Amino acid sequence: MKYINQFAIILAISLVGELLNRFIPLPIPASIYGMLILFTALCTGIIKLSAVKETGHFLVQMLPMMFIPATVGLLEKWEEMQSFLTAIIVISLVSTIVVIFVSGRTTQHIINHKQRRKRQ
């Protein structure tokens, strides 16, 4: 029953994200709205981490399974993609490097911020 309640909380937040996506005319995906709502609720204590933790771990473990249909779809379009394969590779490499850099800088900033708070 605990997992059903946790999943219901996550689904409810996802639904709110979908509704925001419908009513706010910004090019932001509904899943981003949902993640921001969940993040804010967790940070403010509106939702306790224990209220979604186990189901969240389960969903993250199942995440690779969600990529299988997309991968099969790419394999079906292989012939069409070959003409711009170089562009795909360059874009993938550049975006990976940017994500690594931004993630690293963000992590460094958070660690430095926590260390400064401990010193004070």
Helices (H), ranges, 1-120: 2-23, 30-44, 53-66, 68-76, 78-81, 85-119
Instruction: Provide the residue ranges of all domains of the chain, joining segments of one domain with +.
Output: 1-66, 73-120
Q: What pLDDT is stored for residue 73 in this prediction?
A: 86
Contact, 25 vs 41, CB < 8 A?
A: no
pTM attached to this predicted model:
0.63
CA 101 to each of CA 48, 72, 73: distance values in angstroms, whole numbers, following the listed order: 31, 30, 30
| Element spanning 28, H or E | none
103-118 confidence digits (pLDDT tens)? 999 999 999 999 988 8
CA–chain centroid gap for 89, Å, is 23
Contact, 40 vs 23, CB < 8 A?
A: no
The DSSP call for residue 120 is -
The list of the chain residues with pLDDT below 70 reads none
Q: What pLDDT is stored for residue 53 in this prediction?
A: 95
